[in-house]
Chains A and B, each alone.
Chain A
Amino acid sequence: MSKTLSGQSFWRRYVFSTNHKVIAVQYLFTGMLFLALGGVMALLIRWQLAYPWQPIPFIGQWLFPGSGGAMTPEVYPMLFTMHGGIMVFFAITPILLGALGNYTIPLEVGARDMAFPRLNMLSYWFLVVGSVLLLASFLVPGGAAGSGWTLYAPLSASTEVTPGWGQDLFILGLALDAVSILMGGVNYITTIMQLRAPGLTLRRLPLTLWGLFYSAVLNTLWLPIVASALFMVLCDRRLGTAFFLAGPLAPHAGGQVLLYQHLFWGFGHPEVYILILPVWGLVGDLLSVFSRKPAFGYQATVCSMLVITVLSGIVWGHHMFTSGMNPLVGKAFMFLTITVSVPTAIFFLNWLGTLWRGAIRLTVPMLFTLGVVFVFAIGGLTGLFNALQTFDVYIHDTYFVVGHFHYTLAASVLFGTFAFIYFWFPKIFGRHMNARLGYWHFGLSFVFLNAVFSVMMFLGLHGHMRRIADATAYEFLKPVQHWNVFLGWAALGLGLSQLLFFINVLYSLFKGAPAPANPWEAGSLAWTVSSPPPEHNYATPPRVFCGPHEYGVPSLTNGDWLSQADPQAAKLARS
């Protein structure tokens, strides 16, 4: 993992390390573990919807011994709750923020480590303890939380309807994870803004780091809002308060049920941008590397991402069109929401501009990057349907929404995750991943992913609600039940395709071909050091002379690119 002669004990070097590269790998493996767990839960959900109340093959007897191997109505809500919570907070965040951020930020800014290495280590262990609490919630009487990852009050906030400590453990686990993320945010923002090497102006920062920066800013601002809401839910549950309780379930008057939703989505909407901003940044960089051309409209892209970051905080009401909120307020949210299209269109066009007249290398990371472009186009465009107040009244809480956010989250973020890992694996571990397996992984994932989430949207148009355990309970859904069967098998295909990835990672860790310092001929600072990098990255701070995307520079004779650290770039490169 790192070539060090520092003579530290095993525990100091690999477990309680303050080295950002070690912490990044810890986040990566923890995240991948939860990705697999969340994925298995998704498969269980799809089985139940495909074959309601039928015993689950192979693992059913072990999971549900009391009901003959079949799911029960009490367990189903736990599965979709934990699937959502795990994927958002314990899989995607650790991988795309924890791992990608921790690994690349110090290397790409030319620093020896993060600004606050001990805080960094602490942030990882808060995640671990939080995840233990989360998993423990399955074991308590009453089982895990079952009110959805959105935890709407009063369902989540009243122990009359949701007794049992699973709900409380979920909240506590999330709270610890929130602390972890906030600690990380302090490090990311400080390191990116304050520790850049000489010559590394903000205009020369890789787009990945811009994405991570904006993401960290959003986390710093909005996570505390949901934390306050979740603490109030805990108070409602265990301390007899009624912040979010009204009507018969409330112990006394005055609580406002909708206040919870405003607080939650006040965080929840920025959260989806938190998850995707690093991907947008990464895509911007990788399109450039593999088109051998500078990122088209770099400054416009950075500005667009900033505008989206700001706008993301004022559009949350589009999750609440049917909540009973004042419809005029809803209309305002609709108009605010559509404005996001402008900056989104700009950076999307810039992506296409990067490809235009390039010399495109279809490596595995590039395929996943292009995959993001494709699925995000669908995800982004279908977002528009949800933004329309009148139409959303029909499709709210149906599978159309589920299909939309899985295109933007599961598909785009997942492909982004794979682009990240396939691209950075050689640098992190000093070994190549197997390209052939990678191509198969991409092809199969692409097919199955589109099959699953497009059909979901079709089901939603038919009115198929979300979070229901059995669609055959409704007459109007019986004509489309066979699509649930199709989805079950397509989801299984998607799940099995991921085995190719996990096998590739495990195999390549030990048996992959040794990788050179810069296998992709990439221009940013991280690729100037060995693979894996030295323990403290840089012996002396590097000096930067140009941007990270100086590919296709005309006057070069050997090679088609310039490294950021190359002194020649001062006169040869444009920026």
Chain B
Amino acid sequence: MDTGVFPPNISTTGHVVDQLFWLATLLTGVAFLLIVAALGYFLLRYRSRPGRRAYYTHGDSRGAICVTSGLALLVFLLIDVNLAYHDHVAWAVVWGAPPSAREALQVEIMPEQFAWNIRYAGPDGIFRTSDDVTTINQLHVPVNRPVIVQLSSKDVIHSFFLPNLRIKMDAVPGMVTSLYFQAKQPGTYDIACAEHCGFGHYRMRGFLVVEESAEAFNAWLAEQTNEGSPDLSWGWQWAVSAPRASGTPGAHPPSAGARAWSGGST
């Protein structure tokens, strides 16, 4: 259902985010309308008129306390707890089932001021080897295949944001974070940076290209491999087990010896 509120959703799990929004809007909207109605009614009905006296009460009778706490509890249960529960369910859908490392396409992304460095492992399946494919700002993925992205940063905090997939994760220096998604619609979409990272933050645009088939994607990858030498100044060894939705603070990406980034100009 495209209402024009959100950008088009091309994620297999994005709809739960949108649905969460509509539920929250419905519930809070009803509450808000009731408040406005009460306000409007009170202001008209109880406005000051000559001879009119207010009703003298401190609102601390048993009845008043019961009504007030009852209403507050009702609001809490019907709106807050209700929404938190739905969010909990949505969370499980979006983040709860990381794809297996075998079936997923693994990508490493290390943003810097102000571009996205992207790395594919290449035929040997190992990152930071000479058969890798690295691009700047070009993230190609095949349609209908899970993708796991691991993120770190070369300098300051950036945030990898895919509006059309309703998902983002910060890229933090000294840590590896991750997210995963599956695109169900081919096309070209924006990658945006969603954490202020300096004067070029506004133009840190990348391109997510969802290839219309596995063959198209492989063809693109092969073309990139033939084109030249990958950037080996950055990259880290992939975690053997599928990562959680986010890294633990202080988790160091590399295995013995290797570092996520080694010196040299950018």
Interface residues in chain A, defined as those with a beta carbon under 8 Å from any beta carbon in chain B: 73-74, 76-77, 146-148, 152, 154-155, 158, 160-162, 245-250, 255-259, 291-300, 322-327, 331, 334-335, 338-339, 341-343, 345-346, 348-350, 352-362, 370, 373-374, 377-378, 381-382, 384-385, 387-391, 393-394, 396-398, 458, 461-463, 465-471, 473-476, 549, 551-554, 560, 574-575
Contacts and interface: CB of A to CB of B under 8 A. Distances in A.
B155 interface: yes
5 contacts: A258-B175, A373-B39, A381-B32, A384-B24, A391-B87
Nearest to B177: A324
Given A346-B69, A391-B17, A468-B201, A560 B64 contact: no
Contacts of A297: 58-60, 64-65, 68
Interface string B153-164: 111110101011
A163 B200 CA distance: 16
Nearest to A551: B54
A354 B59 contact: yes
B195 to A, nearest CB: 6
B174 A246 contact: yes
Interface in B73-106: 73, 75-76, 79-81, 83-84, 87-88, 90-91, 94-95
B16 interface: yes
B172 A394 contact: no
B220 interface: no
Interface of B: 5-7, 16-17, 20-21, 24, 28, 31-32, 35-36, 38-39, 42-43, 46-49, 52-60, 64-65, 68-69, 71-73, 75-76, 79-81, 83-84, 87-88, 90-91, 94-95, 113, 152-157, 159, 161, 163-164, 166-170, 172-175, 177, 189-190, 192-203, 205, 244-250, 260-261, 263
Contact of B196 (A155, A299, A361, A575): A155
A355 B159 contact: no
Contacts of B52: 359
A324 B58 CA distance: 48
A299 B59 CA distance: 9
A297 B52 CA distance: 22
Contacts of B205: 473-474
Given A148-B196, A161-B113, A324 B170 contact: yes
Nearest to B69: A346
A349 B39 CA distance: 11
A537 B53 CA distance: 32
A384 B79 CA distance: 9
A551 B54 CA distance: 8
B194 A155 contact: no
